[in-house]
A and B are shown apart, each in its own frame.
Chain A
């Protein structure tokens, strides 16, 4: 903090001597802590500083759990980053709160952005202006444990492609002890993880509905499709018994421990799963619905420019943003973090598409949807609660869903 004040003083001083523009410009980049991301960003900063001798970038990181709060609080306290990473779902909050400034149309022409990037970047667009650009995008896929597949007599090189095949595989791989306790799950069931996205953007559509209207301003999942999708999801625990919410605390923990044959998770989990040593695992596209419909959920962290950046700092911030969203940066990011490049030409290379791990995620991007959240945590909580009411309190799925839809609609309306 003191440093910031000092810096503010220095900058004020620097303004007087603007003629001696040889002064080094320092900008701050904020993101959350995640080892691979920090490492990748450090490398990008190094490259950037080498190419732009007049600019230094200070890399500030915060814990993920309260990253958003920290950024907002820092803004309230009168300090802010020059370039900041944000989840696309926070854009409304950050724009309303005056934390971000729109990207200049000259430096980042919208037409070019829309041509080069995957279409999901439009979630960063407000009234014709972009408020940020991603380095990488994420999608979901089905991870499966090849050892458990083999043990259950399934072909580890031929993972399930439809929901029916998927249920059959889950049934075959579930193991219980003499007392009926699950000792190894066919699938993880974890609405607090990625399952709520899977249900919202994938299952609801595969059961013939849509979660929201196209502008994401009206909740529409409380129809037959949504109900059937949720009934089907909860029946995995209640009737089919192929998984249990809370098994091994978290879904990803169960899969990593080798105690769940399948889990649905995102690209960002690749790093953690790569450290698995005691079994082989594979990745495949999310199973197709009864009528062959495929869907996916994709999301991303974008990089925006802080509202307080101006003059030399703004210029440097724009240069830096351009670099970290360049093809070169995306390749470094893919290598270090394992997240998919946000530019189509960088992502959809033959090598990537043929890759046994990246391939399924990239194909998923093709037909992915990006939910326009107004408050991701609160909207997730509603689906968690609806599921818990069905699983723990025997509430009828239709009622649980109707309540969730009503509350979510209120949340959305409150923001508009």
Chain B
């Protein structure tokens, strides 16, 4: 990798202004606007009354928050929001801990069986979740895990992707650092936790972003493993809400907007970290 400017910045150096470049820029901007059109319409419709839904103008004539008040009034969206947050945060913490612990062990320890463990873990990347869902369902129902937070979370507590990503990054940590810590009398756990982990924070944040987003938007397994409405995650809750609303679009758009707003706010606040994290993961992953 070249050590040129920050990965996020536009390329440096003067460039001649050519008509072709202006056309390309304009087309890119139009494309970008098209990309967010569904989101704009979603927000716009959520601010309309039932009677105005058929008016396809983007700016509502008399914007109102009444739909939000109605959707939020019985508390279930709030509940689903809390559920999604609990699940996504817990799974993310677990992945940050275990994936990096395993990635570190595989990157920095020399012992027999290391390659076997690595290949075994990596091979699970080839197993689609859908194949495991039926056995998980059976297992969860026998162990009483269905319809619990743990039941939603347990399949994702560690991932091969995260392990692989962290291993790649730990391999870039110089052995000298670890050796120095060893001489200072730190035990192996402390070396990992206190010395190695701080050196891979960019990777950790990338892993955190992916794991959180993946679990926040997850639909298939939560749909299967949860029965009671109180335990729905936001995507499952929204889907059932949309069906129950019998196609009242302004209410459905309000629900969809409520499901989308949190991630958008986080993105706006942390844009640089998120984009950089995705780039790093893409390059090393």
Contacts and interface: CB of A to CB of B under 8 A. Distances in A.
Interface string B92-107: 0000000000000000
**Interface SS of B by simple majority:** loop
B148 interface: yes
A250 interface: yes
Contact of B246 (A73, A77, A253, A278): A253
Given A63-B240, A278-B51, A77 B229 contact: no
A284 interface: no
A63 B246 CA distance: 14
B229 A33 contact: yes
Nearest to A183: B54
Contact of B247 (A64, A73, A249): A249
B228 A250 contact: no
Contacts of B228: 62
B248 interface: yes
Contact of A1 (B54, B147, B247): B147
Nearest to B228: A62
Contacts of A253: 246-248
A272 B246 contact: yes
A76 B142 CA distance: 9
A274 interface: no
B146 A77 contact: yes
B142 A77 contact: yes
Contacts of B145: 1
B246 A252 contact: yes
B246 A256 contact: yes
Interface in B13-28: none
B247 A77 contact: no
B243 interface: yes
A65 interface: yes
B141 interface: yes
A272 B244 CA distance: 11
A62 B247 contact: no
Contact of B227 (A70, A272, A278): A70
Nearest to A2: B144
Interface in B110-153: 137, 141-142, 144-148
Nearest to A33: B229
Interface in B195-245: 227-229, 240, 243-244
Contacts of B141: 73, 76-77
